[in-house]
Every structure is written in structure tokens, then in C-alpha cells.
Amino acid sequence: MTLQSDDRTGCKDAADRIRRVLEAADPEAGWAVGGPDGILARSDGPGTGPGAGPGHDGNGYEAPCHDAGALTGVLALWPVIGSLVAEGALHLHTPLTAYGAGAAARTPAGTTTHHLLTHGGGRSAHTAAAALTRLAEHLGGSPLPELAAVRIWQPLGMAGTRCADGTLYASLPDLARFLGHLLSPADHPVPRAWTAESLRIRTGELTPPRGLLWRPAAHGTWTHGDTAAVWVHPRRRRWAVLFPADPHGPLRRPFRDAVFASPPGP
């Protein structure tokens, strides 16, 4: 495992905790922890996307790309939907039928974008993601990967993020650009209002609680992904991403706890 870190507040302690967790559970995992200004600590792991091209960290280092297919919802679908909402092309509580037969295809009568964004897990999650993808492509006029590239990835400088071989590939530097943006004051390409509206409970007293494609997790975090996963902590302005070598292993919870359970340094 190659560990890269710096001396910013809390970085060394967090990196040490994460290293201990990794050595016990999944030493080949790729991971990173950071804030709005970039990566604080990381281990690239072996990477899985040689055909997708490397990502760059801004210092000439070519980071391996990881299979980020499990994160397509939050890296592509969620920000594209947010951009459509921001430009007034989409309203969360309007039935999909208002946007035409193509937008509402294979959804129950009365379904809204809000319903789909606050879905539960399991099979319903895949059904909702497929419906949201059809909606985004119908309104945006292009396939989802193209919409995400033009609207989100290119403006953020995520040069190594792309779809290939039927999945999504991304490097840790690209994920740092995306997640750091969500914690920054910047309002483009992902509007701050969209992030704020998404990272709060949108399901009332219903269980499980959900935001908009994000779900609340321990230690005040919001998360997306059940194998590869990302977390953001808006109040502490901290994010984390994990690519486990064993997607069904026990690493996800202890990794999250190692990053977020302890208070930040002074």
C-alpha cells in the first residue's frame, strides 16, 4: 500500500487509524480522505481501469482509475438531475407524465422525480435509477455519460472520469475534485442549493430515511454506494471514498468509523 498524505490538521491521525483498519481487513483497498481543498490522505490501491486512462492529481502523478460503477448514481445521475432542476427544466414534485411519454415510460401513474430520488434499496433502487436515467436523457437530449461529462466532469477538470466497458471509471484525484466541490462555496457546476436540499431528510418519518439519492449515516455523514462508497460530512467539511478490493468484505463500516468517529483536530 502506498500512502500519500500531508501535515494538514488531523491528517496523520486519520491516516494512521485507516492504515490499521486496512491492514486487518483489506490492505489492497483504494481510498482517500479530504476536504474542499483536496486530498488529505490516500492510498491508490491497484486500480482496475487501465483501459479507461489515468487520472492526474495536478502534480504530474498519474493515479490509477477504479471501477466506480457503484457510484454512477452520485457521480453522474444526481448532479445531472440537479443541473436540470437548476435550469428550470425539471421540477421534483411534478408527475413525470408532464414531461412526455418518454420521460414517464415504465413508471406507475403519478410518479415524480422526488419519489425516484428517495427510493429504498435493493431492486427498487435499480428500477428508480433506470427511470431517472431515462428522464435525464429525455430532458437533456443526450446519453447520461455525455450529459455528465459536459455538465459536470469537464467543468470540474475530471479528465480521467469516463464510461468504458459498460461501467464508470474514476481516479481518486477526480473524486477529490467532485467531493471537494460539494463542500466548497462554489455554485457551479453542482449548485449549492441542490447539494443542501439533497443532504437532508426528504422522507419525513418514513423509514429508511433518505435524502435525494444520498442517505444519512453514522457520525453526521451522508453516503452513497454499497460496495465502492463515498461519504461527506458537511459540517466538518470532510469527505471520504473507498474502493474495497473485496466488495463483500467487512471494511466499509470500520473505514467510515476510522475517518469520521473521532473529532477533528484543533
What is the value of pTM for the model shown?
Answer: 0.90
- pLDDT attached to residue 23: 85
**80 close to 151: Cβ distance less than 8 angstroms:** yes
Q: From first to last of its 266 residues, what are the pLDDT tens digits of the chain?
A: 444 444 454 567 778 888 888 888 888 999 999 999 999 999 988 765 543 344 555 554 578 999 999 999 999 999 999 999 999 999 999 999 999 999 999 999 999 999 999 987 666 888 999 999 999 999 999 999 999 999 999 999 999 999 999 999 999 999 999 999 999 999 999 999 999 999 999 999 988 999 999 999 999 999 999 899 999 999 999 999 999 998 888 889 999 999 998 655 44
User: What does CATH list as the number for 21-28+41-260?
Assistant: 3.40.710.10
CB atoms within 10 A of CB 82: 24
Tell me whether residue 50 is exposed, middle or buried, using C-beta atoms within 10 angstroms of its C-beta: 0 to 12, 13 to 18, 19 or more: exposed
- pLDDT attached to residue 173: 97
- pLDDT attached to residue 258: 93
Domain chopping of the chain, boundaries: 21-28+41-260
**Residue 11 to residue 240: CA distance in whole angstroms:** 12
